[in-house]
Amino acid sequence: MEAHLGDQLVIESTMSGATRRDGEIVGLHHEDGTPPYDVRWSDTNEVTLVFPGPDAHVNHLEHTPPGTAHGSSSRAAGDGPAAAEQAPSAHPFGPGDIGRRVITERQRQGLSREETARRARMSPGYLAYLEEYPADPSKAALISLADALGTTATALRGGGVDLPPGQGQAPLHPRLRDLGTDECRALLSTHGVGRVAVTAPDGHPAVVPVNYEVVDDAIVFRTAPDSLLAAAVGTEVAFEVDHVDEPLSQGWSVLAVGPAGVVAEADAVRRLTGQAHTAPWPGGARDMWVSIRAVSLTGRRITAADE
């Protein structure tokens, strides 16, 4: 018996009344993929060490859409050039964040999918699945893949939340382009966390992060009546939101400039409060709604030159 990370182990018990069990192989103990295996069982989600008996067999994962059972094959997906031919085509929804980061790290090092899978002791078919689908690999599979790529599982998941963004290297051939108004509106989306730039009463500039909503083309947020943001009502302010994808060295920013006004009409306040996606993260009494009507909406995006 030979297996790869991500393959499915099936126990077809011959005992009368026994239940068939299956699980994902999340750990290997031998380079050649022979038993024993660490298996995460589908019925309990527990990981146990398994020495498969004669009633067990391995389904080598070739390609399965998310939410379906693992496919089976009479041969391991990584054997010979046929593996490249069997690689799945891109999912209509595109890869997830982990898949995009894996592809980028692999291409930076000039590694083929087959070589990366060999280093990670993983089926090329399973690696293709991770790269082309919005997949959620097991912790063991992600650690093995990170080791093969010379990075960390945290980086592949987009971790590092306690570090300032942008500490990585710039892409090889970066391209900076301006965004149109419609694309800026789409990136603002319906809600998120952004920053409001105001002039403080002492004349100094200040930038304050806020949880915001987008309602009827207005950017709205809650604050306390005695706050710095409340004092900026009636003046022109700037609102900025951005996103940095550290492993891909890519990102975008949108800047809205316009007058800040208080939402005073009771029905409007009730509607905003009832439809809000989240309460303000800082907590406390923040029941004053402020609206920014953008008179200027601009943005920029950094990508690799070939995208």
Integer Cα distance of 237 and 307 in angstroms: 34
Band (pLDDT 50/70/90 cuts) for residue 197 is very high
Mean pLDDT of 22-50: 82
207 has pLDDT over 80: yes
Please give the helix or strand (H or E) that residue 243 lies within, else none: strand 236-245
Band (pLDDT 50/70/90 cuts) for residue 160 is low
Band (pLDDT 50/70/90 cuts) for residue 49 is confident
Kindly state the tokens that stand for 116: 């990366």
Rounded mean pLDDT of the chain?
82
Report the topology of domain 175-304.
Pnp Oxidase; Chain A (2.30.110)
Q: Are 8-156 and 175-304 equal in CATH topology?
A: no
Integer Cα distance of 183 and 42 in angstroms: 42
* First-to-final CA distance of the chain: 43
Q: Among candidates 145, 164, 182, 126, which has minimal Cα distance to 251?
A: 164
Integer Cα distance of 237 and 217 in angstroms: 16
Region of 97 on the Ramachandran plot (φ > 0 left; ψ -120 to 50 alpha; else beta): alpha
Band (pLDDT 50/70/90 cuts) for residue 61 is low
Domain boundary assignment for the chain? 8-156, 175-304
Q: How many angstroms separate the Cα of 34 from the Cα of each of 3, 27, 96?
A: 7, 11, 31
Residue 224, Cα to own-chain centre: how many angstroms? 33
Kindly state the tokens that stand for 51: 């020495």
Q: Among candidates 18, 19, 122, 11, which has minimal Cα distance to 58?
A: 11
Tell me the pLDDT tens digit for each residue of 17-34: 556 788 888 788 888 889
Integer Cα distance of 209 and 212 in angstroms: 9
Mean pLDDT of 83-110: 66
Most confident of 58-67, 137-146, 228-237, 279-288: 228-237
Mean pLDDT of 219-236: 95
84 has pLDDT over 50: no
Kindly state the tokens that stand for 113: 């999918």
Band (pLDDT 50/70/90 cuts) for residue 239 is very high
* DSSP codes joined into one string, 193-231: EEEEEEE-TTS-EEEEEEEEEEETTEEEEEE-TTSHHHH
- Of 140 and 187, the structure prediction assigns the larger pLDDT to 187
251, burial (CB in 10 Å: exposed 0-12, middle 13-18, buried 19+): middle
Cis (ω within 30 of 0) for the bond into 36? yes
**Percent of the chain predicted with pLDDT > 70:** 84
Mean pLDDT of 142-154: 87
35 has pLDDT over 70: yes
Backbone angles phi, psi at 169, to 5 degrees: -80, 150
Give the total residue count for the chain. 307
Q: Among candidates 170, 161, 67, 72, which has minimal Cα distance to 125?
A: 72
Residue 191: other Cβ atoms inside 10 A: 18
CB 210 within 8 A of CB 229: yes
Looking at residue 62, what is its pLDDT? Answer: 53
Integer Cα distance of 6 and 123 in angstroms: 7
SS3 category, 8: strand
Looking at residue 87, what is its pLDDT? Answer: 36
Mean pLDDT of 238-251: 86
Band (pLDDT 50/70/90 cuts) for residue 60 is confident
Q: Among candidates 236, 235, 229, which has minimal Cα distance to 212?
A: 229
Which option is the CATH number for 8-156: 1.10.260.40, 2.60.40.10, 1.10.600.10, 2.60.40.420?
1.10.260.40
